Amino acid sequence: MTGMDVLVAILKIALMVGFLFNVGGLLTWVDRRQSAMIQDRIGPNRAVIKIGNFELRIAGLLHTAADGVKFFFKEDFMPPNADKLLFSMAPILAMMPVLALVAVIPMGDTICPDFLRMTGEHGNVFYPAVQRFGVCPMMEIPVVDPVTHLRSVRIVHPISLAVAPLNVGVLYVFALAGQGIVGAAIAGWSSDNKFSLMGALRAASQMVSYEVAMGLSLIGAMMIYGTVRLDDMVRWQGDNAWGIFVQPLAFFLFFTAAVAESKRIPFDLPEAESELVSGYFTEYSGMKFGMFYFAEYMEIVTSSMLLVTIFLGGWQLPFFHRDGITIAFGDALVFHSALPHIWMTILGVLVFFGKTLVVCSFQAFVRWSLPRFRYDQLMKLGWRVLLPASLANLFATGVIYLAIDNAGPEFTSALHVAADVSQAVVALAITFLVIRGFVAFFAPRSKRRWVVGSAARFAEARGGTETGPMQA
């Protein structure tokens, strides 16, 4: 490994971990701000910087900074009868798998050198190394020293935009995702608290239950993609159709299981305040509690990254390829424009992070839109709904895959055209949503009163209720 390889690895780690930490912190603000908007409340506005008569609130963003500072200065309490070693290790075991998980998630396409130059029998011949399909190989470029005129060979490696592009891919994800159970279980057992132990048992049984459904939901996707490597999955989606079109049921199963794995509403039974005080981290305070708290938000980011990578095209945009923009339906070429490979790669990185932010915001919306399940409903959903559905999806995928494999070339060509049509549908949907969001952002605000529930209707019929002014 050369010095350049080390520098590139450090940059990739800094980019992925920096995005993970910053978005995780931002999601704590999104939870407060979005819940206030949904419930028509003022929202976070207490944290303020005063400069004379000027007050700076930044839409409540200072609350996140205040929480971070507060965690460092709070007392690090430990129960007298707690297992001190395991009690201290549990927050680390909860956070480290989340950090290690981003190592195999590709943020963009492989960066290839511009040209492959080889010295052949007829002199120097230039071959374009940037291809639409596949990954560019390692390249040997002849180099002539200008002083000694000695010839040598310089080996140029393509740069993968995953921190650790392992061949095991999804298997590595499964291995690390299951380690979160250990942190929760150890935290509850070592705290010497019956509520913590009950929360740990709930967390362990819940995460084991939904791990099964999550794993089975991805087997169908692996059958279609023909690989367990995450970057190859994204390339297949760019050349064919996004995973949400070829595995729609698996997409919803994986999303549901991912929300349950992060232990957020409506699946927050391990830390249900009305029943267990705060669940398996009841006895934790200070930065130890902060690590549990922050690991939950980082799990949202990593699960969103995986969802984007496996089902939403990863860094791909419809008709955008590593050599430029190519709009084609089957063998009919509609438009092609060659663009520099490096700029297409940078665009892909921005697209990947943008998709991740959209999925994160949607998870926050789900958190403030659905009520909490009862615990028996939670377990029934995992074992009686998600597990049979994932098995049915696996069986259907196998049958359809064999049918397509034996269908013939005409049917295969029709499927390629359908895949291109799905890319066009995605392109139109993205364009519409962007324009709609831009218009809505600048549209005047209006409020409508919704009367929900029988008590509210009776009160409305009697002329409404009197409320005092809201205090800031």
Q: By C-alpha distance, which of 200, 195, 168 is closest to 182?
A: 200
> How far is residue 348's CA from residue 344's CA, in Å, rounded to a whole number?
6
Q: Are residues 248 and 373 in the same domain?
A: yes
331 or 275, which is more confident? 331
* Same domain? 341 vs 386: yes
One domain for residues 354 and 397: yes
Give the angle 51-53-59 at the CA atoms, nearest 5°: 70
Whether residue 353 is found in the same domain as residue 205: yes
Q: Is residue 14, in this structure, part of any structural domain at all?
A: no
- Polymer length of the chain: 472
Pairwise CA distance, residues 67 & 212, whole Å: 35
Domain boundary among 156, 181, 212: 156
Residue 228 lies in a domain: yes
Which of 3-17, 56-70, 288-302, 312-326 is predicted with the least confidence, judged by mean pLDDT? 56-70
* Together in a domain, 226 and 205: yes
Domain contains 224: yes
Residue 197 falls within a domain, yes or no?
yes
Least confident range of 270-274, 339-343, 426-430: 270-274
Measured distance CA(185)–CA(182) in Å, rounded: 5
What's the number of CA atoms in the CB half-sphere (13 Å) around residue 383?
11
Helix (H) or strand (E) holding 329: strand 324-329
Those residues whose C-beta lies under 8 Å from the C-beta of residue 369, and which sit 6 or more positions away, are 38
Q: Which helix (H) or strand (E) holds 142?
A: strand 139-144
pLDDT exceeds 80 at position 103 = yes
Q: Is the dihedral of CA 352, 354, 358, 360 positive or negative?
A: positive
Whether residue 72 lies inside any domain: the answer is: no
Asked if residue 213 and residue 330 are part of one domain, the reply reads yes
Q: What is the pLDDT of residues 172-209, one digit of tens each?
A: 888 887 777 888 888 888 888 888 888 888 888 888 88
Helix axes 248-261, 194-225, angle to 10 degrees: 160
Cα(272)–Cα(201) distance, integer angstroms:
13
Residue 254 lies in a domain: yes
Whether 336 and 436 map to the same domain: the answer is: yes
Same domain for 288 and 344:
yes
pLDDT tier at 354, thresholds 50, 70, 90: very high
d(CA 108, CA 316): 8
- Whole-model pTM above 0.85? no
Both 140 and 203 in one domain: the answer is no
Instruction: Say what the pLDDT of residue 204 is.
Output: 83
The model's confidence at residue 252, banded by pLDDT at 50, 70 and 90, is very high
Domain boundary among 128, 156, 184: 156
Secondary structure of residue 17 in the 3-state scheme: helix
Task: Let me know: does 34 contact 316? Beta carbons within 8 Å.
Answer: no
Residue pLDDT, tens place only, 157-173: 677 888 888 888 888 88
Rounded Cα distance between 159 and 8, Å, is 8
Rg of the chain (C-alpha set): 26
From 130, 156, 182, the end of a domain falls on: 156
Residues 133 and 237 in one domain: no
Helix or strand or coil: residue 72?
helix
314, 315, 330, 352 from 421: Cα distances, Å: 19, 19, 9, 22
* Strand 139-144, strand 54-56: pairing: unpaired
CA distance 404 to 415: 9
Each residue of 380-419: pLDDT tens digit? Answer: 888 888 899 999 999 999 898 888 888 778 888 888 888 8
Strand, helix or coil for residue 328: strand
Same domain, 177 and 239: yes
What are the contacts of 269-272 at 24+ separation with CB within 8 A? 269/202, 269/206, 269/372, 269/373, 269/375, 269/378, 270/184, 270/199, 270/200, 270/202, 270/203, 270/206, 271/199, 272/372
Domain containing residue 150: 115-156
Q: How many domains does the chain have?
A: 2
Q: Which of 115-129, 280-294, 414-428 is predicted most confidently? A: 414-428
- DSSP H or E stretch at residue 30: helix 3-38
124 SS3 class:
strand
pLDDT at residue 118 above 70?
no
Would residue 30 count as lying in a domain? Answer: no
Amino acid at 86: L
Q: Is residue 219 part of a domain?
A: yes
Do both 415 and 274 map to the same domain?
A: yes
Task: Give 64's contacts (C-beta < 8 A, 6+ positions apart).
Answer: 25, 26, 28, 29
